[in-house]
Amino acid sequence: MNRALVILILLFGVLSAAEIRDNELYLEINIAVDNQIIISGEDIFIQEQDPFFAKEYSGSIRITLPTSTNDSRYGIIQRVVDESVRGYIEGIRSSKFVWEEGKLALKNEYAIYLDQSFRSYEEAQQLAMMMGYPESHIQQIPIVNASLRVDSDSGDQEYFESPIRIYAEDGIQFGNITYKGEFIVKAQNGKLVFNHLLPLETYIAGVVPNEIGNSSPAEALKAQAVAARSHAVSLLGYNRHAKDGYDLCSTTHCQVYKGEHLQNEAIQEAVHETAGEILYIDDKVADATYHSSCGGKTDSSVAIWNGTPLSHLSGSTCLDAARNIDLSREPQAIKWINTSVSTQGMTSWERAGMNWQRSISKAQLTKNLGLTYLTSVQIMRRGASGRILSIKFYGDRTIELSGEYRIRQAFGGLPSSLFYIQGISSRSKHSLGNKITLKGRGSGHGVGMCQVGALRRARADEDYKSILQNYYPQTTIITDWMKQE
Ligand SMILES: [Zn+2]
Ligand SMILES: [Zn+2]
């Protein structure tokens, strides 16, 4: 054990760095987690946090984490104190979002570690058990003074202390995508974590085109901007990536973010005209989840994911023609899937979600289900959108699959679980042929805003507030949701 090393680490430890600058919320959006990060561009400044050391680069730059100098260590958290407790600055600081008096607040808290660190998780585990600390108190200590090696294509080599900040006004290229502004690279959990540090509004502009397309009508872009902003703010409240070293990831797990990719004037206008607007309900942000195409009606969050019923995610009618049809019933759902609906004005991805057909061999389905043989199937339950929520398979075992996503995966990755098996028209047990044909409608989980519906409404001159009201009933739009100290 090296006590001097541990204390040095604890003095400067910072896990994540969401911050408020000039009344604007800045977030760390993760771009990549890898052993090496290769970026390129002109006039790129790389700077150490402390002590101050900066260098300018142009061309291709490779950042690596030399393993020899970066042994990771494990510590045991003794207790966590918040910033209101004076005199405890020697802990590892992490910023955490909380809802306070109806507003989102950014709080710092400090994890105070035991005076001992360990080379392996097992060693830490042994002591934690002896001293009665739960396993969740064992954490890899972020090695803030780890060395990051920076190699330029001109053969120049430099070592920086983690974390480093990168400034690139004219942008950097990473994986064929351009990102502009400020970045953070840090050593965490034995990897390099590469984050874009940017204002919430800039982030939203990088999400909207990747979620709904950049040539959508203005009111649909605005609806998407408000939904994406609300979803982001809602996710922040869960601190779901706090231990990973960033606020949100850039994949579908949070929301797809790709920097400048697909951005244009229309996108920036939609974000600007709805600046700061989020959907609000019961003194909190309304989680504005969304999906590609409901297929007629949206479903409730409870039917799709269980959990607490939410009045703004209880399902609504998207297509008027489906309004009086009970899609949770078998014959009605089948009849609806076969009812033709207008696809006028739709782009190809929208049309693809309205009617689709897939097939799978019984052999493949048997394999996907982990069965030896399969004889028959039985649809058990559909949600308000007509999505199958539960289905039974009979073979060498009987399997009941629950959840629209698992059902889609079992059939080889269907666009949605709003489908029927050709030849099966009732809720009773049916035997399966060797080739199984599926006919369906809709794409995605079906909860919250339907993007195809938002586009259709925008083309029919509905404004974004009315679009949002349809998919998130009982919500209001507010801009004053961030608690300023
Ligand atoms: Zn995520
Ligand atoms: Zn819809």
pLDDT on residue 145:
65
| Closest C-alpha among 166, 220, 147 to residue 47 | 166
The model's pLDDT over 310-349, given as tens digits with 9 standing for 90+, comes to 999 999 999 999 999 999 999 999 999 999 999 999 999 9
Residues shown for the chain: 485
Please classify residue 154 by burial: count the beta carbons closer than 10 Å to its beta carbon, then call 0-12 exposed, 13-18 middle and 19+ buried. exposed
d(CA 190, CA 151): 19
pTM of the model: 0.89
- How far apart are the C-alpha atoms of 76 and 93, rounded to whole Å? 15
Residues having C-beta closer than 5 Å to ion ligand 1: 249, 253-254
Q: Which ligand is nearest to the CA of 238?
A: 1
Average predicted confidence (pLDDT) for the chain: 90
Query: What string of H, E and C letters represents the secondary structure of 230-282?
Result: HHHHHHHCCCCCHHHCCCECCCCCCCCCCCCCCCCHHHHHHHHHCCCCEEEEC
Distance 447 CA to ligand 2 centre (A): 10
Beta bridge partners of 33: 193
Question: Percentage of residues in the chain with pLDDT exceeding 70?
Answer: 92
Q: Which residues contact 288 (CB under 8 A, 6 or more apart)?
A: 226, 227, 228, 230, 231, 234, 278, 279, 448, 449, 468, 472, 475
Q: Kindly tell me the sign of the dihedral angle through the C-alpha atoms of 359, 361, 362, 367.
A: negative
pLDDT at 106: 87
| C-alpha 481 to ligand 2 mean position (Å) | 29
Which pLDDT score, from 0 to 100, does residue 442 have?
A: 98
Ligand closest to Cα of 235 equals: 1
- For residue 167, the surrounding DSSP H or E stretch is strand 164-174
For the chain, the distance separating the N- and C-terminal CA atoms, rounded to the nearest angstrom, is: 40
**Residue in the structure block whose two tokens are 């979620």:** 211
Residue 204 CA to ligand 1 center (angstroms) comes to 15
So what's the pLDDT on residue 13? 45
Q: 187-236, pLDDT tens digit by residue? A: 887 789 999 999 999 999 999 999 999 999 999 999 999 999 999 999 99
The pLDDT tens digits for 278-310 are: 999 999 999 999 999 999 999 999 999 998 999
Residue 17 has pLDDT above 70, yes or no: no
Residue 113 has pLDDT above 70, yes or no: yes
**pLDDT exceeds cutoff 90 at 26:** yes
Which ligand has an atom closest to residue 249 CA? 1
Tell how far the Cα of 429 is from the centroid of ligand 1, in angstroms: 40
pLDDT of residue 143: 61
Question: Which residues line ion ligand 2, judged by CB < 5 Å?
Answer: 294, 318, 450, 453
CA 241–ligand 1 middle distance (angstroms)? 7
Question: What is the residue whose two structure tokens read 């351009």?
Answer: 178
| Residue 7: pLDDT band with limits 50, 70, 90 | very low
